[in-house]
Structure 1
């Protein structure tokens, strides 16, 4: 099943495709400085289409196996953000983790809030998940605003949670219960 939804007249949230390598590399190059404080350190090769072409198929396979839902925000054929549902666990847990970023030129428009709302509805109604989880750096107030606007609640603090920008950094953990 292919996932796609219009967020605005010019931005669409859609499932990642095996043909997205060039557009992904372009998006990461364009946003390299913008994303550096919020993401793991990346090797130089990460910013090439070849790097993405070699690895993209695994994310597409994860999508088809139901273990993840990797998506992109697209505007006029350019990727302007990512929203990924990963670590999907079914059974007694029915849980997934959200991670996302938005292009520097598209911040402040409410796009990621709309994208997360669409992913929440899809996770609940189509994937049957019970809970979503997300973690943000304590000083990432924009990301926290997206989560709280959509209804996520803060549930904890995780010391040295992820290695971001070359350092193990604390994170604030949020959850959203989809079926009450």
Structure 2
């Protein structure tokens, strides 16, 4: 962990956050979020989600199928796991039947 305090100018110091900073950071985040809200993009309800599974993980693929996911492709050498690049089957679930309404 870095414990250095960096002085940016006479009044501003930069240091790593600590657990003691949590309350004031939460207040600052809430205040910033409220201020920025008018500029937030409007996002529709979730309409799409995807999942990747290794081909040998048949049990998880069954769970995805029961939850309405469909396989739509393969991603060769998708993730580096246990020292090797592993292929993954790609699954998706689209949660709408028509255009998004916002």
Structure 1 residue 139: deviation in Å?
Answer: 0.5
Which one of 126, 134, 139 corresponds to residue 56 of structure 2?
A: 139
**1:172 maps to which of 72, 89, 100:** 89
SS at match of 1:179: coil
The structure with the largest helix share of the pair is 1
Q: Distance in 2 between matches of 1:149 and 1:164?
A: 26
Q: 3-state DSSP class of the match of 2:46?
A: coil
- Give ranges in structure 1 of 5+ residues lacking alignment: 1-53, 58-63, 65-89, 95-126
Structure 2 spans left out of the alignment, 5+ residues: 1-18, 23-28, 30-40, 98-102
C-alpha distance in 1 between matches for 2:62 and 2:55: 12
Q: Compute the displacement of 1:128 (Å).
A: 0.9
Shift of 1:165: 1.8
Q: Cα offset for 1:164?
A: 1.4
* Correspondence for 2:26: none
Task: Measure the CA separation in 2 of the matches of 1:152 and 1:137.
Answer: 15
Greater length-normalized contact order (CA 8 Å, ≥ 6 residues apart): 2
| Rounded Cα–Cα distance in structure 2 between residues aligned with 1:165 and 1:131 | 30
Alignment match, 1:153: 70
The alignment partner of 1:148 has SS state of helix
Shift of 1:166: 1.9
TM (norm. structure 1) is 0.30
- Report Cα offsets for 1:106-137 as digits up to 9, x if no partner: xxxxxxxxxxxxxxxxxxxxx71110000000
Please say which structure displays the higher CA radius of gyration. Answer: 2
Say which of 32, 37, 47 aligns to 1:130.
47
Structure 1 consecutive aligned stretches of length 4 or more whose deviation exceeds 6 Å = none
Deviation at 1:167, TM superposition (A): 1.0
Root-mean-square deviation (Å): 2.8
**CA displacement at 1:155 relative to structure 2:** 0.1
How far apart in 1 are the matches of 2:74 and 2:92? 12
Partner of 2:25: none
